[in-house]
Amino acid sequence: MKNALLLLKEFEKLGYLAYIVGGSVRDYLLKSESFDIDIATSATPDEVMKHFKSSPIGIKYGTVLVFFNDEEFEVTTFRKDLEYFDNRHPYGVLFSKTIKEDVARRDFTINGMYLDNEFNVVDLVGGKDDLEKRLIRSIGNPDERFREDALRMLRAFYLVSKLDFEIEEETLKSIIRNKELIKNVSAERIYREISKIISYDNSLKALDLMVQTGIYLYLPGLHQGIKYIVDNHILLSGEYFFAMCFYKNSKVDKFWKLSNKEKLTYQKVIEFLNHKGEIDNNLLYQYDYEDIIIVAKLNNYLNVFDINEYDMIKMYHKLPIKRDSDLDISNKKIINIIGIEPGPWLSDLKKEITNMILSGKLYNKEEDIKEFILKRKDKYEK
């Protein structure tokens, strides 16, 4: 905060208006920590870049990242958004010289306050009042604001999760009316906001409201999971949350832009949880540690397998081998013992060795494995 205030003074010396704005003012008034400090100024992006060490990060929307006293600040020129199209993009922005226009494009009253370098709060939208009443209220007409950018509806739930506030009645009714518009927002933006929602203490309250408003039905592949999580009061964040949702959905929904690795993990978790029968070493061996910790946690709630989280992870750690390369014998040595050209027989034999080791009938020691191979030589020579 100290450096941010010093930066405001620098802007003032240069003859510009500058304020700390948005979430950082909200968090400051709530005496909670802000991770990022946003600054709004009357200086244009070119002017900001001329005077400060900076890099343009969202120049189209007037945002420049300023490096000041070893800290980074997102500095955005006061602006007025032109009309929005497709519920997510303005046709363009116009820079302006006053906060009166700048505040009108912000989402909620509690995010619409400005702090000057002497700690005066400039509040043109009743943000302080709503902060005291612990209310999330759209600035202006909520229907219009959600039609402009439908992601704002999810931002309301994010604020519920983070602050334990209520959504003001008209704003909430408007979300119910406009919920379908969330379909027009990109998967990346929705995913980011949902990840934020589930990372805070009051995520269940937020998810419950998402069920009540019906907006959860428009989140591809997540709605069965969200309903289950809410009905059973389950606190899950990050990949545990998404894994539970995709399991309840029986598959990963293609809508989400996941990396191949993430997709594979979720698929493996679903496959594991759908396994019929007992858990044994052979089953565990087919999965990675990352898969196991998710399965073990979800199983606490799902009770698919009769084993607790701790014991399942312990069982995985105790596997005598965890992957092919853990075998205490090289392919070359196996081939030498059998004495024929490598072929499909090699993987068959290795599978046999692996099974013996996993079921505790053979030690993973080269000498023991050699002895076993010699006994099986007849089968593979032919």
Name the residues that contact ligand ATP, by CB under 6 A: 22-23, 36, 38, 106-107, 111, 149, 151-152, 155
Q: Are residues 313 and 293 in contact, defined by beta-carbon separation less than 8 angstroms?
A: yes
Spell out, one character per residue from 4 to 43, where the chain touches Mg ion: x when CB under 5 A holds, - when not.
-------------------x------------x-------
Smallest distance from ligand ATP to CB 80, Å: 12
Selection from Mg ion, ligand ATP, none that 149 binds (CB < 5 to 8 A by kind) is ligand ATP
Selection from Mg ion, ligand ATP, none that 164 binds (CB < 5 to 8 A by kind) is none
Amino acid at 313: I
Selection from ligand ATP, Mg ion, none that 296 binds (CB < 5 to 8 A by kind) is none
Smallest distance from ligand ATP to CB 102, Å: 9
Residue nearest to Mg ion (CB): 23
Which of 36/129 has CB closer to Mg ion?
36
Smallest distance from ligand ATP to CB 249, Å: 27
Residue nearest to ligand ATP (CB): 23
Selection from ligand ATP, Mg ion, none that 281 binds (CB < 5 to 8 A by kind) is none
Which of 153/252 has CB closer to ligand ATP?
153
Which of 201/288 has CB closer to ligand ATP?
201
Smallest distance from Mg ion to CB 111, Å: 8
Sequence length of the chain is 382
Q: Does 57 bind Mg ion (CB under 5 A)?
A: no
- Gap between the Cα atoms of 66 and 72, Å rounded: 6
Q: Which positions lie near Mg ion, rule CB under 5 A?
A: 23, 36
